[in-house]
Amino acid sequence: MSVKYFVDTHILVYARDSTEPEKQPIAKQWLAHLWEQECGRISAQVLNEYYVTVTQKLKQGLSKEQARSAIRALAVWQPLEISSTLIESSWDIQDQYGYSWWDTLIITSALFLDCRYLLSEDMQHQQKISNLTIINPFLVTWNELE
């Protein structure tokens, strides 16, 4: 079985954001690799954040239908729902590592989905939390990890 990667919202957004010319091609390359290897994972939180960002916050955003179509496609990545168990575990991680609540939910979701890597530019690059390593995808490629 291939290594699983949890994808933070911003990576999905950068792939659609033409106002980020340095980050967009890198985000697209990462996502293409994850699609090809069938190893991308997300949560319902990520899908919700993505929808709001691409339909309401981007200068050159997506229509609601385009965003909904993208979310339907991402459903194959087994989005994890928020549960009371996830919340309880997140409190422990937040207390131990000091991340914001929303980032903590992302970290805990990645752990629940048994991901080896969490792709995020917003958290500490190469930090290990249990069996999970946070990776800034704009600093390394998947070839350097596997």
What pLDDT was estimated at residue 60? 85
Listed in sequence order, the residues at least 6 apart from 128 whose beta carbon sits closer than 8 Å to its beta carbon are: 134
How large a percentage of the chain has pLDDT more than 70? Answer: 99
- pLDDT per position as a tens digit, 98-114: 999 999 999 999 999 99
Give residue 14's pLDDT.
96
Q: Is it the case that residue 125 has pLDDT exceeding 60?
A: yes
Give the Cα separation of 145 and 73 in Å (integer). 26
Residue of higher predicted confidence among 12 and 145 = 12
pLDDT tens across 34-82, in order?
A: 999 999 999 999 999 999 999 999 988 899 999 999 999 999 998 999 9
Residue 133: exposure state from Cβ atoms within 10 A (0-12, 13-18, ≥19): middle
Please give the pLDDT value at position 138.
97
The domain locations on the chain are 5-144
Average confidence score pLDDT of the chain: 95
The residue-averaged pLDDT of 78-92 equals 96
Q: What is the pLDDT of residue 1?
A: 56
* CATH architecture, domain defined by 5-144: 3-Layer(aba) Sandwich (3.40)
